[in-house]
Amino acid sequence: MADAIRKPELRLTDGRMRPSGDWTLLALGPHVARLRRELAGAAAVPWDLSALTRLDSFGALLLWRAWGGRRPDGMVLPEAFVVQFDRLAAVSGAPVPRRPPFGPVDALAALGAVVLGLVAHLGDFLALIGRLTLDCLHLLVRPRHWPLKEFSANLFKVGVKAMPVSALVGFLIGVVLSYLSALQLKAFGADIFIVNILGLGIIRELGPVLVSVLVAGRSGSAMTAQLGVMRVTEEVDALTVMGISNYVRLVLPKVMALSVAMPLLVLWTSGVALFGGMVSAELQLGLSYGFFIETLPKVVPPANLFIALGKGAVFGVLIALVACHFGLRVKPNTESLSANTTASVVTSITLVILVDAVFAIATRSIGVPV
């Protein structure tokens, strides 16, 4: 049975300061504030530590700081406690290393590290695309080896399960956009043009980008985390040992599923967002649902719908590739898992916005009503 904890005390007896009891972290916890007050100004008094029953590094440090970082003269110190204070003396006497100032060479080195990191990421990303291309060519002559079960499972997770949240966000975005547009259009008597704004804005731009951001934060992070956990638990290595291609079983189904699910999610979210805008337009401007539905195909050319579906497919492939790229780079520790999951989401959203800008420039003269 463990010995009982002795309460730490500090008394001045016969002109000497005599600490007693257990001066350990466990025993000192409730009394540390009181003892610090009693220790203040007691460094000049001779000390006798023979009544101490236990002393750990925390208790020794508490006394050492009260002594001003040195042993008092004429101190009675039992042999069992000498090592504690010798270590503190060695640490206190060592000079504290000072970090050199940040100079031009350090800035150049930091820039070089960033550039080399980007080059390494780009190389690994291109290697991932090349490996998937070779695997697809290999599977074309072996149709039975296509990972259809994995594809259907991923399609359900990234597509069907994402429909409620995408519908909710799309509906609210449609309502807000319609409400803000109605405030300005009503002032100029241009109420009917709200159909043009909602149709082009939601179908061509907001729908694909909004769904991509949602999927990157929801499904992309989940893909990275899944692959990262498999790296940590060595499941990826186990598949390699068994002769199973990691890219065919883990990466390819995710890319296929997102490339198919994203256009459908874009169509679903855009439709719900237009419905939300339609409801808000009817409440704010008094535009009937029939007028909205009849006018929409006239002011929004069908080419915009094909552009949106094309954006969805491209964004889906990019999000899946980025998520798998960072998932396969996870090292076997939790810090790397969290860092790569965060980097996956940020990189996916940034890449989606950049590619959307390229789409906007490339299709600037397509689907725009004259």
pLDDT tens across 215-264, in order? 999 899 999 999 988 888 888 888 888 877 788 888 899 999 999 999 99
| Together in a domain, 20 and 73 | yes
pLDDT of residue 1: 37
pLDDT of residue 343: 92
Query: What mean pLDDT is predicted for residues 199-221?
Result: 90
Residue 131 in domain = yes
For 54, the enclosing helix (H) or strand (E) is strand 52-55
Residue 189 in domain = yes
How far is it, in rounded angstroms, from Cα 228 to Cα 223? 8
| Together in a domain, 76 and 123 | no
| Together in a domain, 59 and 159 | no
Residue 3 in domain = no
| Together in a domain, 81 and 124 | no
How many C-beta atoms surround the C-beta of residue 230 within 10 A?
Answer: 19
CA 126, 130, 133, 139 dihedral sign is negative
| Together in a domain, 216 and 278 | yes
How many C-beta atoms surround the C-beta of residue 353 within 10 A?
Answer: 12
User: Which residue in this structure is represented by tokens 């397509």?
Assistant: 366
| Together in a domain, 206 and 326 | yes
Please, are residues 312 and 262 in contact by the beta-carbon 8 Å criterion? yes
| Together in a domain, 198 and 49 | no
**Domain range holding 192?**
119-362
Instruction: Give the closest residue to 198 by CA, choosing from 139, 281, 77.
Output: 281
Specify the number of domains making up the chain: 2
The per-residue pLDDT for range 53-102, each reduced to its tens digit, is 888 888 888 888 888 878 887 788 888 888 888 888 877 765 666 777 87
Q: Model-level pTM greater than 0.75?
A: no
Domain ends where: 93, 110, 145? 93
| Together in a domain, 72 and 130 | no
| Together in a domain, 13 and 138 | no
Residue 112 in domain = no
| Together in a domain, 77 and 184 | no
Please, are residues 19 and 51 in contact by the beta-carbon 8 Å criterion? yes
Residue 369 in domain = no
Residue 99 in domain = no
